[in-house]
Amino acid sequence: MRFISAQQVDQVLDFPTLIDALQRGFAADFQMPPRQLYTLDTRKNAFALLPAWTDNSIAVKAFCYFPDNSAATPAVPILHSNILLYRRKDGQPLAMVEGSSVTCWRTAAVSALAARYLARRDSQHLLLLGTGALALPLLRAHLSEHPLRHISIWGRNLSKAAQLRERLQRLYPALLVDVCQDLPVTCERADIIVAATGASAPLLHGADIKPGCFVSLLGNHSPAQRECDSALVCRAAVYVDDRQNVLNEAGELLIPISEGVFSAEQIHSDLAGLCRHNQNVRASQNTGDSPAQITLFKSVGTALADLLCAELVLQQPYFG
């Protein structure tokens, strides 16, 4: 059995190939039992298991989350994660893949895959909220899917936002890249908004989002927190990566449900449904999603995306 490091994952993957692999995998048959989350001692610390299997592979991601590690001296990562991959036909162990790198790649790729189906094809201006580890992968993934011309970066730490702007500008010299100074005004102009923050209260408000915008919400996993307000959820056609996980974890939907202004039945589709339909919803006569419709995608992550990403890594000639 191989051990595949984060550096090797980064070396062999590219977003166009990964996004297409995710589309095929979510469109095919799979099994994904509910993930198991266990709180430990202080209840801040947690251990989780995320299983899934397809006709080709079985995978389980295990991770430990210890938020106080960041205050240790020397600092220790707050998240440790690995993915075990097995061959479906006989259960043979194939690889252990470093999980944090896979999480970055698959989260960014899933957001871009959702944009393939939910964003306007002529989208040119993307607003990113967040400057953490996911920020650059998210931008690279969306740039591989849409001919974007303008990127705006918002972050609480303006220095980090400026550093990300400079790094992106070096990678894509033809892009217009700026640091967002006025979030409501930039929201009124953006064609795509991607949020990957640790916000506990809404940063995005329905009244500020322009018609036709695609909003991808990735940062929150708490039923009591959210990155957008209820007004945005009520204005939007709502899609999710996985219904069960989102309805267990995502305050973006659970809070408006508790307020009585939204219901689970109003979710249009999950990612598997989008991939099986394999058509931009704005081109479909059956969805009613016009060019002016706001579309919203809420993701809390799936074991299937972990499996498909780890499987793609192992298929690369580097490991042949």
Predicted local confidence at residue 67, as pLDDT: 84
The CA distance from 31 to 53, in Å, is: 5
The CA distance from 146 to 123, in Å, is: 7
Decide if pLDDT at 286 tops 70: no
Q: 246: domain CATH number? A: 3.40.50.720
pLDDT tens-digit map of 303-320: 999 999 999 999 999 887
70 belongs to a structural domain: yes
The CA distance from 151 to 278, in Å, is: 27
pLDDT tens-digit map of 99-111: 999 999 999 999 9
Phi first, then psi: give them for residue 4, nearest 5 degrees.
-110, 120
**Average pLDDT, integer, range 42-55:** 91
- Amino acid (one-letter) located at 109: A
**Average pLDDT, integer, range 291-295:** 93
169 belongs to a structural domain: yes
| Shared domain check, 203 and 74 | no
Decide if pLDDT at 60 tops 80: yes
Provide the residue count of the chain.
320
The CA distance from 156 to 70, in Å, is: 19
| Shared domain check, 160 and 243 | yes
| Shared domain check, 159 and 259 | yes
**Average pLDDT, integer, range 179-207:** 97
The CA distance from 153 to 300, in Å, is: 22
| Shared domain check, 82 and 198 | no
| Shared domain check, 218 and 151 | yes
108 belongs to a structural domain: no
Predicted local confidence at residue 284, as pLDDT: 58
| Shared domain check, 175 and 233 | yes
Phi first, then psi: give them for residue 282, nearest 5 degrees.
-75, -15
3-class DSSP string for 57-102? EEEEEEEEECHHHHHCCCCCCCEEEEEEEEECCCCCEEEEEEHHHH
| Shared domain check, 207 and 70 | no
pLDDT tens-digit map of 89-140: 999 999 999 999 999 999 999 999 999 999 999 999 999 999 999 999 999 9
Domain membership of residue 58 as a residue range: 2-102+304-315
| Shared domain check, 128 and 94 | no
| Residues contacting 152, CB < 8 A, separation 6+ | 125, 126, 127, 128, 177, 178, 179, 180, 186, 190
Two structure tokens written together for 28: 């095919």
| Shared domain check, 62 and 166 | no
How many domains does the chain contain in total?
2
242 belongs to a structural domain: yes
Predicted local confidence at residue 285, as pLDDT: 47
**Average pLDDT, integer, range 160-184:** 98
| Shared domain check, 160 and 90 | no
| Shared domain check, 225 and 93 | no
Predicted local confidence at residue 282, as pLDDT: 85
Predicted local confidence at residue 281, as pLDDT: 92
pLDDT tens-digit map of 65-74: 888 888 888 8
109 belongs to a structural domain: no
Q: 6: domain CATH number? A: 3.30.1780.10
| Shared domain check, 311 and 293 | no
Report the chain's mean pLDDT, rounded to a whole number: 95
The CA distance from 197 to 173, in Å, is: 26
114 belongs to a structural domain: no
Q: Bigger pLDDT: 68 or 235?
A: 235
Two structure tokens written together for 192: 């795509």
Please count the other Cβ atoms lying within 10 Å of the Cβ belonging to residue 235.
Answer: 17
Predicted local confidence at residue 315, as pLDDT: 96
Q: Which of 119, 127, 185, 192 is nearest to 154 (CA)?
A: 127
86 belongs to a structural domain: yes
48 belongs to a structural domain: yes
